[in-house]
A and B are shown apart, each in its own frame.
Chain A
Amino acid sequence: MAVDNVSSAAGAKLKISKIVEGEIMCLRLIGTIDEDFNGEEVAEQVRGTLILDLGEVRRISSFGIREWVDFIRAVEKKAHSIYYIECSPKILDQFNMVANFGGSGKILSFYAPYRCDYCDDDRRRLVQVDESYELIQNMSLPDVPCESCGNPEYFDEDPEAFFTHLQTQEQVEADAAVANFLADKLDYRVSDAARRLRVDKMVEREGTFIRLAGDLDINFPREKLAEGLEGDVVVDLSAVGRVDEDGAREWGEFVRSVPEETAKLYLRDCQPGFVEKAFNQEGLAGKVEVVTFFMPFKCPSCATTAAQRVEVAEHFDVLKFATSPEFECTECQTIAPSIASEEFLACLGNLIRPSASKELLEFSDAASEKLLKPAGGAAAPAMAISVAPPPAAGKTMGLAFIAAMLGSLLVVGGIGFLFYRQYQQDKKPKPAIFDEGGRFKSESPHPKPQWFVDFQKKLKGAKGNAALADAAYIQQVGSQLFFIGYSYSTPRKTESEARAREAAFSMLVQHMALSVKDETWRSTVVSQFQEERSKILTNLRAAIQKKDGLETRKWRDVLWKRRQMVEKALKTTAKEFTKPAEEIYVQQVEIKDGTRWRFWIRLAVNKELIAALIKQYTSAVEVESQKIKLIDYFPGLAWRYPEHYQGAVVIEADKQTGPWKDTPLNMGTLVVTCAEIPIKDAAKFKEVVENRAEELKTKGGKVSCRTKAGADVKRLGYQVAKVVAPMRRVIYRGNGMPSGMAGAMQFNVWDDPTQ
Chain B
Amino acid sequence: MGVSRILILDQNKLTLRKVTRVLACTGAKLIPMEDPSELPRYLDGTPSLLCASAVDIATVMGVLQSQPEIESLVWTQEKTDKLLPFAHQQKRLSHLLGCSKDSPPREWELLWTVKRMLGGESPGLGSLLAWGYTGFKEHIRTTDQRDACVEGVVRFCEKLNCPGRVREMFGELAHELLMNAMFDAPVDAAGRPKYAADRKAHIQLEPTEVATIRCASDGMRIVISVTDPFGRLPRKSIFSGISRGLGGGEMDTTNGGAGLGMLYIYKSAAISVFNVVPGHRTQVIGIYELDTNQREFRGLPRSVHYFATT
* Chain A residues with a Cβ under 8 A of chain B: 13, 34-36, 38, 58-63, 65-66, 69-70, 89-90, 97-101, 113, 115, 117, 120, 122, 154-158, 161-162, 675-677, 691, 733-739, 747-752, 755
Let me know if B179 and A748 touch, CB within 8 A.
Answer: no
Let me know if B258 and A63 touch, CB within 8 A.
Answer: yes
- Chain A residue numbers with a CB within 8 Å of B267 are 97
- A156 CB contact (under 8 Å) in B26, B124, B264, B293: B293
Nearest first, the 10 A-B pairs at minimum CB distance are A738-B27, A158-B298, A750-B124, A62-B260, A750-B126, A62-B257, A747-B131, A66-B258, A736-B120, A736-B115
Say yes or no: is B41 at the interface (Cβ < 8 Å to chain A): no
Given contacts A63-B199, A158-B295, A748-B131, 10 further A-B contacts (CB under 8 A): A13-B147, A35-B179, A36-B200, A61-B176, A97-B260, A154-B295, A156-B294, A749-B124, A750-B127, A750-B216
Let me know if B27 and A97 touch, CB within 8 A.
Answer: no
Say yes or no: is B17 at the interface (Cβ < 8 Å to chain A): no
Q: List 26 A-B contacts (CB under 8 A).
A: A58-B171, A59-B168, A61-B179, A62-B264, A63-B179, A63-B257, A66-B257, A66-B260, A69-B258, A70-B253, A97-B248, A98-B251, A98-B260, A115-B294, A122-B164, A122-B165, A156-B295, A675-B144, A677-B144, A736-B121, A747-B131, A748-B126, A748-B127, A750-B127, A750-B214, A755-B125
C-alpha gap A35/B144 in the complex (Å): 13
- Chain B residue numbers with a CB within 8 Å of A115 are 163, 293-295
Q: Which residue of A lies closest to B252 (CB)?
A: A66
Let me know if B293 and A66 touch, CB within 8 A.
Answer: no
C-alpha gap A541/B241 in the complex (Å): 70
- B171 CB contact (under 8 Å) in A59, A98, A120, A157: A59
Say yes or no: is B47 at the interface (Cβ < 8 Å to chain A): no
Known: A34-B175, A736-B115. A61 touches B127 (CB 8 A): no
- Chain A residue numbers with a CB within 8 Å of B164 are 122
- B130 CB contact (under 8 Å) in A100, A677, A748, A752: A748
- Chain A residue numbers with a CB within 8 Å of B200 are 35-36, 38
Considering only residues 132-185 of chain B, those with a C-beta below 8 Å from chain A are: 137, 142, 144, 147-148, 161, 163-165, 168, 171-172, 175-176, 179
Q: From residue A95, how far is it (CB to closest CB) to chain B in Å? A: 11
Of A61, A101, A113, A737, which is in contact with the most chain B CB atoms at under 10 Å from its CB?
A: A61
Say yes or no: is B263 at the interface (Cβ < 8 Å to chain A): yes
Say yes or no: is B45 at the interface (Cβ < 8 Å to chain A): no
- Chain A residue numbers with a CB within 8 Å of B294 are 113, 115, 156-157
Say yes or no: is B186 at the interface (Cβ < 8 Å to chain A): no
Let me know if A736 and B261 touch, CB within 8 A.
Answer: no
Say yes or no: is B245 at the interface (Cβ < 8 Å to chain A): yes
Known: A99-B249, A157-B295. A736 touches B171 (CB 8 A): no
- Chain B residue numbers with a CB within 8 Å of A747 are 131
- Chain A residue numbers with a CB within 8 Å of B131 are 747-748
- Chain A residue numbers with a CB within 8 Å of B293 are 115, 117, 156
Let me know if B123 and A97 touch, CB within 8 A.
Answer: no
C-alpha gap A157/B293 in the complex (Å): 9
Question: SS class of chain A's interface: helix, strand, loop or mixed?
Answer: loop
C-alpha gap A98/B264 in the complex (Å): 12
Say yes or no: is B227 at the interface (Cβ < 8 Å to chain A): yes
Let me know if B123 and A66 touch, CB within 8 A.
Answer: no
Q: Which residue of B lies closest to A73 (CB)?
A: B253
- Chain A residue numbers with a CB within 8 Å of B171 are 58-59
What's the A-B contact tally at a CB cutoff of 8 Å?
A: 141
- Chain A residue numbers with a CB within 8 Å of B298 are 157-158, 161-162
Let me know if A62 and B163 touch, CB within 8 A.
Answer: no
User: C-beta contact mask, B237-272 vs A, less than 8 Å → 1, else 0?
Assistant: 000000001001111010011111101100100000
Q: From residue A398, how far is it (CB to closest CB) to chain B in Å? A: 52
Say yes or no: is B129 at the interface (Cβ < 8 Å to chain A): yes
Q: From residue B244, how far is it (CB to closest CB) to chain A in Å? A: 12
Q: From residue A230, how far is it (CB to closest CB) to chain B in Å? A: 60
Say yes or no: is B283 at the interface (Cβ < 8 Å to chain A): yes
Q: Which residue of A lies closest to B115 (CB)?
A: A736
- Chain A residue numbers with a CB within 8 Å of B299 are 158, 161
Say yes or no: is B58 at the interface (Cβ < 8 Å to chain A): no
Say yes or no: is B25 at the interface (Cβ < 8 Å to chain A): yes
Q: From residue A568, how far is it (CB to closest CB) to chain B in Å? A: 23
C-alpha gap A60/B171 in the complex (Å): 10
- Chain A residue numbers with a CB within 8 Å of B168 are 58-59, 90
Q: From residue A163, how far is it (CB to closest CB) to chain B in Å? A: 12
- A736 CB contact (under 8 Å) in B116, B142, B147: B116
Let me know if B257 and A735 touch, CB within 8 A.
Answer: no
C-alpha gap A154/B294 in the complex (Å): 11
- A97 CB contact (under 8 Å) in B128, B148, B263, B295: B263
Say yes or no: is B46 at the interface (Cβ < 8 Å to chain A): no
Q: Which residue of B lies closest to A675 (CB)?
A: B144
Let me know if A62 and B127 touch, CB within 8 A.
Answer: no
Let me know if A66 and B251 touch, CB within 8 A.
Answer: yes
Say yes or no: is B122 at the interface (Cβ < 8 Å to chain A): yes
Let me know if B245 and A97 touch, CB within 8 A.
Answer: yes
C-alpha gap A738/B25 in the complex (Å): 7
C-alpha gap A90/B283 in the complex (Å): 26
Let me know if B248 and A99 touch, CB within 8 A.
Answer: yes
Of A63, A101, A733, A737, which is in contact with the most chain B CB atoms at under 10 Å from its CB?
A: A63
Let me know if A65 and B260 touch, CB within 8 A.
Answer: yes
C-alpha gap A750/B129 in the complex (Å): 10
- Chain A residue numbers with a CB within 8 Å of B225 are 755
- Chain B residue numbers with a CB within 8 Å of A155 are 295
Q: Which residue of A lies closest to B262 (CB)?
A: A62
Q: Which residue of A lies closest to B167 (CB)?
A: A58
